[in-house]
Amino acid sequence: MKYTVKEVKRIFLDYFKNHEHKQIKNSSIIPENVDSLLFINAGMAPIKNVFTGQQIPESKRMCNMQICIRTNDIDSIGDRHHLSSFCMLGSWSVGDYFKEDAIRFATDLLTNHFNIPIEKLYATAFSGDEKRGIPADTDSEIYWKKVGFKDNQIVKCGFEDNFWRMGDGESPCGPCTEVFYDTGAEHGKSYEESGYFDDKKRYIEIWNAGVFMQYLQKEDGTYTNLPFNSVDTGSGLERLVMTLNGFDSVYETEVYKPILEFVAQNAKTPNTQSLRIIADHIKTSVLILNAGIEPSNAKRGYVLRRLLRRAIRHIRTIGAEPSLILEVAKRTIDNLIECDIAPDWNFSKEEIVAKIMQENDKFSKLLGNGLKEFNNFISREENIESGELKPELVFKLYDTFGFPFEMTRELAEENNIKVNEEEFNKLFEKHKEVSKGDIGKVFKCGLAETNEITTKLHTATHLLQAGLKKVLGDHVSQKGSNITDERLRFDFNFERKMTPEEIKAVEDFVNDVISKNVQVVKEEMSYEDAQKSGALGLFANKYGDVVSVYTIGEYSKEICGGPHAENTGDLGKFKIAKEESSSAGVRRIKGILN
Ligand code: SER
């Protein structure tokens, strides 16, 4: 019998509803009540406070399907069963039944409703942790045996594998017992034969059949008892469907298969890994965008940016058109609805696709040059030390071309070169400090608040100065600058009113550079080197030892704290709205972008 996603979801939820569990709603993937989590990573996360007694549950027995995001093992995406987003089928007892009933329900559902022969199932049990003072879970072993598991179908595991908590922050937690499915001899030696429980290949986890919530993990890493005992279970729907159908990977389920096929049809050189990464990352990006997150360089926005950029690069790898990403996103949205696993939509399909298009446009421009630079780096022996690409070059790819670290790692690995994450992180931290220093004590180019529009106006200000020099003469230079959400204001030394022709010539200069899609390149160097490089700069005594120099092709080079647009193509159309006198010998321009 073939199981569909819809059917497996229905069988699971019906089973628990038939055993007095109330089905609760799927929550947003953005945690409302958990600061330590970027995204909801388990079905229990949105309701975690019911386990501590801080919140009254809708019912003592509950179940649902929750969309979860887990991007900590992003590098595993592309194997048989890791996904960056998935649906978790969950069931809960809050201060109601405990271990024995949970194990009985799990076995009944798997063997009698999903018809899995019991000898194909293995269960793990917590072996205790002396250091943390948490005893072994010997009860679970007894109950698994009671429902028909043999001794050799029960595997004892330690804290890392069999103690579940939501993260490192405060969290209800406890020992857990997980059910694994034996995929057969073609995937490796059996546990009985080798004494080794191969949970990577032969045995696939299909259900965390019970976190036995007994403890509260405190911020300081200590544990106290919860006021009552609860059960939290969770099973990855896509993985369960894969297992029940005997598929080799989750990508054979209808959640992914049509998407992979579509991408493959539109690729010149498809490869399995890339197809899987594209399908997985675009699906997760759609879900994150729907939650109102935009690509950025921090926190949730950066997770989204990394997923989109990695997908964009793999679309290039398989020789497909960059715009394929948009059609993949549309089909992904339709398919989530078709499979009955869609979130509540906060945005329309068109709105989500438009946001992907923006990031695609932005990154596609950088990607080509970045790849050239990368190939250039690795072609020179002096850039590779002990098999590793020099950290500063990895950082340059991040800083100048927007290459997320793992993307460079992946590119490097494809060329048998390693990268050093620790060293990259050090440079990243150092850079953050330098930038902070820049903003604090360095000339800010008139930028008070930074957001997307002020950042663009800031770049337009550099181009305006370059244009004025070109049209009015090199003696013209900045006397002051101020940027708000609406306009830039630029003061410069010049004796008379500008003519309409001069104004138009300056506007044309700026718009010409905009239309050329010139990359804005940032470099850090000593003040002395910056001066030598011909960079414009004011108030020399206000600069720190290391300064940032922003170069816009052959058109502009200025010492500046930033931030700037990544590419002039992002700016829109520039217009001088006003040209007037500011004080004796100083003129003032107000400029806008639209
Ligand atoms: N919270 C547990 C897990 O994520 C059970 O759902 O594995």
The domain spans of the chain are 5-252, 270-434, 452-593
In ligand 1, the atom with minimum distance to the C-alpha of 90 is 6
For residue 589 and ligand 1, the question of a CB distance below 6 A is answered with no
Contact between residue 91 and residue 24 where contact means Cβ atoms under 8 Å apart = no
The angle, 0 to 180 degrees and rounded to 10, between the axes of the packed helices 391-401 and 421-441 is 50
What six digits make up the tokens of 68? 């979860």
Report strand pairing: 61-69 vs 22-23: parallel
- What pLDDT shows up at residue 486? 80
User: Among 50, 68, 126, 164, which is best to mutate for testing ligand 1, by the most ligand atoms less than 8 A from CB?
Assistant: 164
Per-residue model confidence (pLDDT) at position 57: 96
pLDDT at 437: 40
Q: Pick the closest to residue 356 from 325, 333, 332, 335 (CA basis).
A: 325
One-letter amino acid for residue 205 of the chain: E
- Ligand 1 mean position, distance from CA 172 (Å): 12
Supply φ then ψ for residue 67, to 5 degrees. -75, 130
- Indicate the top mutation candidate among 44, 62, 231 to test ligand 1's pocket, ranked by most ligand atoms within 8 A of CB: 44
On whether the CB atoms of residues 34 and 166 are closer than 8 A, the answer is yes
User: Which atom of ligand 1 approaches the CA of 166 most closely?
Assistant: 1
285 lines ligand 1 (CB under 6 A): no
CATH of domain 5-252: 3.30.930.10
- For ligand 1, whether the C-beta of 87 sits within 6 Å is no
Q: Say which DSSP state 27 is in.
A: P
Q: Tell the residue nearest (CA) to atom 1 of ligand 1.
A: 42
Report the alpha-carbon distance of residue 232 to residue 51 in Å, rounded. Answer: 9
What pLDDT, on the 0 to 100 scale, is given for residue 545? 66
Quickly list DSSP for 354-386: HHHHHHHHHHHHHHHHHHHHHHHHHTSGGGEET
Helix (H) or strand (E) holding 233: strand 223-236
How many beta carbons lie within 10 A of that of residue 488, not counting itself? Answer: 27
Q: Which portions of the chain are predicted below pLDDT 70?
A: 1, 33-36, 433-450, 538-545
Within 125-228, residue ranges assigned H as helices are 138-146, 159-162, 191-194
Per the structure block, which two tokens stand in for 88?
Answer: 């978790």
Indicate the CATH number for domain 452-593: 3.30.980.10
